[in-house]
Every structure is written in C-alpha cells, then in structure tokens.
Amino acid sequence: MEQIMNGQCGLCTHFGESHHSAPALVTIMKSHEAPLNMIDECGHPKHADLHLKVTPISGCDGFVPAAQA
C-alpha cells in the first residue's frame, strides 16, 4: 500500500468519478492509502474525452478534493 497525499489523484473527486462510491475508492478516502498497482479513470472535463487513466499517486492542477465519506 502507498500513502496518498492531498493533491494526488487518489484523493481527487475526479478519480474514478463515474463510480466514486465503489468500495475500493471509499477505502482510499478513509485510509489515505492505495495499492501500488491500482489504475482508474480521471473524470476531469479536460481529461474525460481522452479517457485518461491515472494511478492514486498521480496528480495534476485540476485536483479537487473529494468529499470525505
């Protein structure tokens, strides 16, 4: 497991946005940890059309903190 810091995809509202209530994503929100081999879609409007896939430790300036569960 990898520690996820504020500003990284794992804690961004756009990470796996189309299925944000999935158990794996909720677990990351609560624990601020994620598996190293995880990858999911970025739903940011500027990225969605490109079907960008990111890891929980990726990041960009479009970061928006996800609401805490």
For residues 26-45, b (16+ Cβ closer than 10 Å) or e, as one string?
Answer: eebbeebebeeebebbbbbe
Q: Is 47 in the site for ligand SF4 (CB under 6 A)?
A: yes
- Cα distances from 64 to residues 8, 37, 42, 61, in angstroms, run 9, 23, 12, 9
Span 19-38, contacts to ligand SF4 by CB under 6 A: none
Part in contact with ligand SF4 (CB under 6 A); list of ranges 18-26, 27-35, 53-61? 53-61
- Between 9 and 25, whose beta carbon lies closer to ligand SF4? 9
- Between 23 and 45, whose beta carbon lies closer to ligand SF4? 45
C-alpha span between 65 and 61 (Å, rounded): 12
Residues that bind ligand SF4 (CB under 6 A): 9, 12, 14-15, 42, 44, 47, 54, 58-60, 62-63
